[in-house]
Structure 1
Amino acid sequence: MAACPSHSSNHRAEGSASAAGPLRIGSLELAIPIVLAPMAGYTDSTFRTICLRRGCGLVFTELVSSEGIVRNITRTLNMLHTRDNERPIAAHIYGSDPEVMARAARRTEELGRFDLIDINAGCPVPKIVRKGAGVALMRDPTRLHDIVRAVVQAVSLPVTVKTRTGLSPDNANISEVAHAVEEAGASALFLHARLASARHGGPADLDALSRIKDELSIPVIGNGGITSAASASFMLKETGVDGVMVGRAAIGNPWIFAAITAALAGKEYRPPQSHDWVDVMTRHLRGLYGEMLRENAQRKRPRPHTERAACNRFRGHLTKYLRHAGCPARARRTLLEQQEVEALLRLVAEALQSPNSGEETDAVS
């Protein structure tokens, strides 16, 4: 089984390993075939916008409940909030009922904020699977076909599906699932090249990606194991997929999209400097705090301590940012304890501009 290399390239990007060009998904044409994966708790609106400005070709919302959309639940609808310049973007929805999914997709399209509707058929989280949604749909390709068909008929936007290679080693039925999705009218398939039982562990199954790419006539975008420009180029070259989707490697490192783009074009990649890290963390935390203030204002009973909650939510991003930026470990501990936005950002700037910063830099390529 072929697997993506995990090593990082140096500052001069490798020559183009694939002739990856614009990616057409139905009526949507992406100039850059590099996509940010949906990740619960991480792909907030501010982070998505940051990635788009650094070479990402398409972003996704976090996983949004179709039931919550049709029931007009405020918390769910907040997950569909986007910025004016946050395009192209996909609404990433889940559910198990074709009619409800169709209604949710129609409601989402009517918002006028999205460029495509993506159906999740790959999430292995138990609370999603128990509802018959997410990767549970791989157990019933006929139901998945019916969901895709219903959504395609309900909207004018392109409809895509994100799924995995199967549930387990003895139930790796991606070929059957992929054909069901294509026959139902999907415009593309986003394929996480791992089994549900593997979650995010182990190498991506590039042989499965290559096989499904050969079997389908719609675009296939590969996901799994992309940690650098080198691994993205390798996946494109080895499988012939039409694009790549970057997941956890983008957390704390939105420049990975610029690095991949440079590698595919055979151009030099210039890594960010200390002031770039300070700028992106400032934009991210302030933007996230603003989002949370907006959401809190919509509550019947606004919650106290929104600033502290924003710092806590940002912590997962902050840990990764600081590691990639080469912030000394002793300074990281202090930063992670901060509960005030501006105080945290001031300390970030001081830490990254100190003489010892950069001593543990993780390659940003």
Structure 2
Amino acid sequence: MSTPTTTAPAPALSIGRFDLDSPVVLAPMAGVTNVAFRTLCREQERERMGSVAGLYVCEMVTARALVERNPKTMHMTTFAADEDPRSLQLYTTDPEYTYRAARMIAEEDLADHIDMNFGCPVPKVTRRGGGSALPFKRRLYASIVRAAVRAVSDAGHPEIPVTVKFRVGIDDDHHTHLDAGRIAADEGAAAVACHGRTAAQRYSGTADWEQIARLVDHM
């Protein structure tokens, strides 16, 4: 008589070593997704679903300010006791500060997951070559992703996944998402996320899901 075997359901979303039961990710937004807001969202999910299964990403933290231990920035890295995994989004335009910040996060156990911000469309950010403008500079973009992946490994914590968020491109004439996805994977990123708008669109109009599908096929 054979004993029936049961197969555990596949996780809805896997990022590095983390298997999540929900594919829903709370998108990071500066000035919004702080520890209080994330706590409220988690309470809502627990109340409605009975558990917390998604990924909750903290608001954007600037790499240089983190390395220099700016008090406001350090406060932004606060996580609630029950947040697991602790997901921190890092904004950066410089490979050196990227490396130092990512290594600091790993060595000081500040987070379990690092998400790189290449999606911010705010003009004061993109005018400086950061956010959604940065993937257009492919070599710089590659070196920044590489620096973050190398930093967590050098810190003795290669299990900390580094992920990358970007947009379709700068505008309709300058799409960068296919190159951005390929480069991130080549440099060791555990996953990528694409906002289906260009930087020029900011948050207007509708997301271009066809471009996201193209990225999935390309990856």
TM-score using structure 1 length:
0.52
Runs of 4+ in 1 over 4 A off after TM superposition: none
SS at match of 1:100: helix
Among 192, 195, 212, which residue is 2:195 paired with? 192
**Structure 2 Cα separation of the partners of residues 205 and 186 of structure 1:** 23
Q: 1:125/1:20 Cα in 2 relative to 1: closer, same or farther (>3 Å)?
A: farther
1:178 aligns with 2:175: no
Unpaired segments ≥5 residues, structure 1: 1-18, 217-365
Between Structure 1 and Structure 2, the one with more helix by share is 1
SS at match of 2:37: helix
SS at match of 2:174: coil
Unpaired segments ≥5 residues, structure 2: 1-8, 46-51, 153-157
Query: Which structure 2 residues correspond to residues 1-365 of structure 1 after superposition, within 5 A?
Result: 21-53=11-43, 54=45, 55=52, 57-155=54-152, 156=158, 157-216=160-219
Q: Provide the alpha-carbon RMSD of the alignment.
A: 1.7
Whether contact under 8 Å (1:91, 1:108) holds in the other structure is no
**Structure 2 Cα separation of the partners of residues 66 and 173 of structure 1:** 23
Q: Tell me the alpha carbon deviations over residues 203-226 of structure 1, each in whole angstroms, 9 at most, x when there is no partner.
A: 11111111111111xxxxxxxxxx
Deviation at 1:49, TM superposition (A): 2.0
TM-score using structure 2 length:
0.85
| Structure showing greater relative contact order (alpha-carbon pairs closer than 8 Å, 6 or more residues apart) | 1
Q: 1:20/1:46 Cα in 2 relative to 1: closer, same or farther (>3 Å)?
A: farther
Between Structure 1 and Structure 2, the one with more strand by share is 2
SS at match of 1:33: coil
Specify the structure having the higher radius of gyration (Cα): 1
**Structure 1 Cα separation of the partners of residues 41 and 167 of structure 2:** 24
Whether contact under 8 Å (1:124, 1:134) holds in the other structure is yes
Q: 1:37/1:87 Cα in 2 relative to 1: closer, same or farther (>3 Å)?
A: same
SS at match of 2:64: helix
- Same amino acid, percent of matched pairs: 39
Equivalenced residue count is 198
Q: Tell me the alpha carbon deviations over residues 299-330 of structure 1, each in whole angstroms, 9 at most, x when there is no partner.
A: xxxxxxxxxxxxxxxxxxxxxxxxxxxxxxxx
**Structure 2 Cα separation of the partners of residues 82 and 76 of structure 1:** 13
